[in-house]
Amino acid sequence: MNKNWIDPDFLQQQGEWFAAGFFEKEQASPFRRISLAIRRQLEKAFLPEYNGQEIYPSGVNTFWRTKNNILTFHYAYTLSYDRNRLAALIETATSCVERNQWLSLRQALDAYPMYSHQLISPAYTVGGRGWTHSIPDYGTVLRQGLASYHGQLKLISRQWPDNSARQDLTAGLDDVLKGIKCLHFRLNQKLPRNSPLARDFQIVPWRPARSFRQALLATNFIFYLDGCDSLGRFDVELGPYCEQDLKAGLITEKEAVAWVAALWKNFDANSGWNVALGGTLPDQRAAYNRLTMVCLKAIRKMRRPNLALRVRKDMPEKYFNQALAAIASGCGQPAFYHEEAYLQALQENHLNINFKDLSHYAFGGCTETMMHGMSNVGSLDGGLNLPGIMSKTLQRCLPGATSFKEILEALKQDISQNVSHLTTQVNHDQEQKAKYRPQPIRTLLVRDCLTAGREFNQGGARYNWSVINVGGLANVADSLAALKKLIFEEKVISPARFHQALTDNFQGWAQLLKEIKRCPRYGNDEDQADSLACEIASHVFRELTRYACWRGGRFLPGCLMFVTYVGAGENVPATPDGRLKDQPIADSIGPYFGREKKGPTAMLKSVAKLNQKMAAGTLVLNIRLAASFFSTATGRQAVKNLIRTYFSLGGMQVQVTVVDQAILKEAMKNPEKYQDLIVRVGGYSEYFTRLDRALQETIAARTEYSCP
């Protein structure tokens, strides 16, 4: 046997079904090879057992696992390759034939350019590196069924009979559909024969859903198939089915809550991502319905999904009250989004969104803005570490600086240069994805890819843009405020000596640290710091939106640090705001931990001064409130007033953590007693004890606002 030849039958026998399909037609295009890999995987995929759950499949997704997980499907990167596992198989091979096959596989996989995201420099990976969340077009599957997709493929084939690329696309997607059909049949065999669940599952997702449970089953199936990502406008797509069955008396609200809670448990088991609720319909009417309320009730005490409640000015109070009840349960859900501001921002950011589609915005991943069922958004494609950029500027310019303006302009120039480098690298990554890592499942399930006859990563989706993270704004604002006040206004210290203090990591500079603490701080409604935050934010937002993406659309700023702000501070030198070397940078768009001293209103007013509509990728704001806010009608009204006021000032997103300081401290000491304690981090909720110690300490350091 030629040791460079890979035998797909060998890989099948070894339980590496995805790899077997990938090498079945090694000379075919990447799209055909990946499509065939998906088919072979779904034909043999590990299936979860049915144990009486309300919906199925359930639990941890096993569809994309293989025996050794050497080459597997990944919803963001398409391909996931475990080279270490393959090396172990080479070492433990029991025959020359087996060893040669594993060696040939390693040689072929090492040669395949599947790591194009590594073209993005580590310096630009705050929060993401060529990541792609997405929202499939669940609505079309519910209304038409997957069987209708066969007709669309035939239409494409007839429209472009001499176009090899489109014929390649239809042949690949035909393989994908065959794999899905086989998977669906195998899953159905797991269900009790003639049970109501089995009868419903025989209908969907191949034929249109006719009931709420059928719609829920179809949605759950596509969620697992796509790789457990995001659902988008869940209450808009499934609301009519729920309303219909409730009105007819076919189900009770209690049953609906239980079914949705079962779906939320699947989200939690798979660390699934986002669900948007409420907002606006295409005809401009409010989108809230009975399923919106069901979703808010089902999320109590649960970590996932990230619920994003789109708050219109005319949103009925009952939805606000139910949202606060969910938050009071300790889950940090939902987060609140300013509906009118988002609709305006998406129109103003040159994204070319058709007005009839505008209301369909939703969120993928933590909270990256995209269009439900019709977009391919890099989220997050990369990030800018503003304190890291500033540190290099100061190393070069601070010792000999003669004016504050000189430092500020040098920083802006460095930010512009970094934006240029980052966008160039992201575009290179997008181009490589289109060549070597196409996405057959999303090509099938995202609107316009089929009608255009164009693959998802080639720009086939109706809307394409890239969300770029902007990290550490508060550190930069506070640093600039300190430099301006202490060096150039009060002349407490010279530029050279301040530079030396930074070099020394403030060791031996205790008096300077005291002076820094009395400087203006972003988050206290102090214009000296807030104006600098606004100036830097507007500059970086404007620079990002100057650039177009390779795939289409433009770069859209956001600030959603989730758990990455601790790692982002590593290897960043001490900064003039008093932050020491390697300490975390600021969490998302809010002030640095514990520096806001004048209450929640002052903090919200500071953040609202930013031109947030320039950064509709989502600017996450965390606020921590004492549980006492939620124990009385007066306290709950105060929370609503805070959120409404923030939105009236121009704020776009806010999320709430409700947990007492004593509990956080106790959970750090005795984590085994607090396994279900949930806190809100940048963009989503997480179990507190799953976070590393540094992250736990930053959450404990957040200012806790007490009920007046």
Strand ranges in 487-554 using DSSP code E only, listed in sequence order: none
The band of 694, judged by pLDDT with boundaries at 50, 70 and 90, is confident
Q: Give the Cα separation of 544 and 255 in Å (integer).
A: 47
pLDDT for 3 beyond 70: no
**Per-residue pLDDT tens for 229-276?**
999 999 999 999 999 999 999 999 999 999 999 999 999 999 999 999
Tell me the pLDDT of the chain averaged across its residues: 94
For residues 489 and 165, the model is more confident at: 489
Determine if the pTM surpasses 0.85.
yes
- Among the ranges given (9-13, 441-445, 597-601), the one the predictor scored with the smallest mean pLDDT: 597-601
Q: Coil, strand or helix: which one is 431? A: helix
Percentage with pLDDT > 90 across the chain: 84
Quick one: three-class SS letters along 536-564? Answer: HHHHHHHHHHCCECCCCCEEEEEECCECC
Q: 384, 415 in Cβ contact below 8 A?
A: yes
* Span 44-95, pLDDT tens digits: 999 999 999 999 999 999 999 999 999 999 999 999 999 999 999 999 999 9
Name the residue type at position 314: D
pLDDT tens per residue, range 453-487:
999 999 999 999 999 999 999 999 999 999 999 99
Q: Mean of the pLDDT values across residues 493-497?
A: 98
Return the percentage of the chain with pLDDT > 70, whole number. 98
Task: Give the E-state strand segments of 16-119 in sequence order.
Answer: 71-74, 78-81
Tally helices (H) and strands (E) across the chain.
Answer: 29, 16
| Confidence band of 629 (pLDDT split at 50, 70, 90) | confident
Tokens of 544: 């990002």
Note every long-range contact of 102-111, with CB atoms under 8 Å and residues 24 or more positions apart, other chains counting: 103/3, 104/3, 104/4, 104/5, 104/6, 105/6, 105/11, 105/19, 105/23, 105/70, 107/4, 108/6, 108/23, 108/26, 109/70, 109/71, 109/81, 109/83, 110/83
**Confidence at residue 683, expressed as pLDDT on a 0 to 100 scale:** 67
Q: Determine the pLDDT at residue 535.
A: 98
pLDDT in tens, 120-160: 999 999 999 999 999 999 999 999 999 999 999 988 888 88
* Secondary element (H or E) of residue 603: helix 600-608
Q: Identify the band that residue 4 occupies on the pLDDT scale cut at 50, 70 and 90.
A: low
What average pLDDT does range 302-322 have in this prediction?
96
Give residue 341's pLDDT.
Answer: 98
- The per-residue pLDDT for 2 is 44
For residue 170, give both structure tokens. 């239809």
Average confidence (pLDDT) over 636-641 = 94
For residue 682, pLDDT beyond 70 = no
Strand ranges inside 69-202, DSSP E:
71-74, 78-81
How buried is residue 92: exposed, middle or buried, by Cβ count under 10 Å (0-12/13-18/19+)?
exposed
Q: Report whether pLDDT(667) > 90.
A: no
N residues, the chain: 708
- Distance (Å, whole) CA 94 – CA 70: 18
Per-residue model confidence (pLDDT) at position 163: 84
Cβ atoms < 10 Å from Cβ of 430: 26
Residue-wise pLDDT tens digits, 558-608: 999 877 888 889 999 999 999 999 999 998 899 998 899 999 999 999 999
Q: Where are the beta strands (DSSP E) in 227-334?
A: 232-233, 274-278, 306-311
Angle at the Cα of 96 from the Cα atoms of 91 and 100, rounded to 5 degrees: 75
**Burial status of residue 634 (CB atoms within 10 A of its CB: 0-12, 13-18, 19 or more):** exposed
Mean pLDDT of 284-294: 98
Distance CA 392, CA 399 (A): 12
Categorize the per-residue pLDDT at 627 as very low, low, confident or very high, splitting at 50, 70 and 90. Answer: confident
